[in-house]
A = this chain, B = another copy of it.
């Protein structure tokens, strides 16, 4: 055995880091259906997106180039925390008494505490070089808002975050983190936008929603010359930037002379799953034997219970209409602790791959997910974010299946973020207060009746 095969932590030196992102759109068996304008139902052109995004981001959104170079200034920030470690979960394997080999990629090592910084830095960079001075965005649990605030601080942009009001007060430390990096964060609905004022007029006590916060951030960007909008998941360019995760993991596994039988990630909008999976999807499309498992919460089972259809990206019907798996744009999931997995839709790229049978999905209830997260913490030392805990649970389940079957599978999962700001969720679990929340089938059925009529 070589040193990396024996190792627990597999590192990359700086000169081994990827210099280009991988664009899975280059290798899709069928191209994606075109996104449509939410008002006209006609295919979107670059000019429709120009008020929201810089041209290079729009170009990446529709690109079918296989590799897109990572700009030097972006790599300069990546060097602060990348390559993130690839860990062999030896202590967990022993605790499970499994013949499986479990590897995880630890994106919690980022300054933002999650993978979100990978695209935040890229988006801030492209905006900066096109003369944009200020970015607006929304955030739910605060992972994305804090990542964008850090990126803007590095690139010298102003950052404006509309944070869902209930999270703003429940997760004060995420708010503090945004402010520590010089970002401005206000609770949504806010009196600063027409959409926010209207919501407050309807209900002064509104605790907000992600859909509403998106609408506020979009209105902010569209209304100001110096400002564009930034989104933390779902879109093609976001997943493109996240492929740095899988590209690194592949090199690290090569060092350990390993290749995954199954690649696992949690899915909300899809960016951390796409990030680790796509470089291996490339191999699968070229004939390699490798499986993929997207893990969603059973309270928001977009892939496993949704439909594959055109739908709006947001509640207010301002975002593009895209073909994806959806529970309906009016769907509002229960307040599970994995706030980042509460999106009604799914990345069009991941939706297409799922529709074509290239990836599988599973939905898990949150109590079993927290139980797995605690088992993982007590073996590997890391308290993971509630979102990432879904991937942990699925990886443990795979490893236990191997114990049954005697198969020595190689399992790779993405540990997308740490749980340092989510300890209240663990308190809730440990004190027995956490409930599994049902899949609201009647609500979904109702929401699905309201899909846009297109084509």
Contacts and interface: CB of A to CB of B under 8 A. Distances in A.
A163 interface: no
B80 A173 contact: no
A201 interface: no
A424 B382 contact: no
B181 A377 contact: yes
Contacts of A77: 381
Interface string A161-173: 0000000000011
B383 A177 contact: yes
Contacts of A79: 7-9
A16 to B, nearest CB: 9
Given A172-B427, A420-B421, A427-B176, A381 B80 contact: yes
A426 B180 contact: yes
Given A80-B91, A172-B423, A181-B378, 10 more contacts: A7-B14, A77-B381, A110-B381, A111-B383, A150-B381, A154-B378, A172-B424, A180-B426, A180-B430, A420-B421
28 contacts: A3-B13, A4-B13, A7-B14, A8-B14, A8-B76, A9-B80, A9-B81, A80-B91, A91-B154, A111-B383, A150-B381, A154-B378, A154-B381, A172-B423, A172-B424, A172-B427, A173-B420, A173-B423, A173-B424, A176-B423, A176-B430, A177-B383, A177-B423, A180-B377, A180-B426, A181-B377, A181-B378, A418-B420
Interface of A: 3-4, 6-9, 11, 13-15, 76-77, 79-81, 87, 91, 109-113, 150, 153-154, 172-173, 176-177, 179-182, 374, 377-378, 380-383, 418, 420-421, 423-424, 426-427, 430
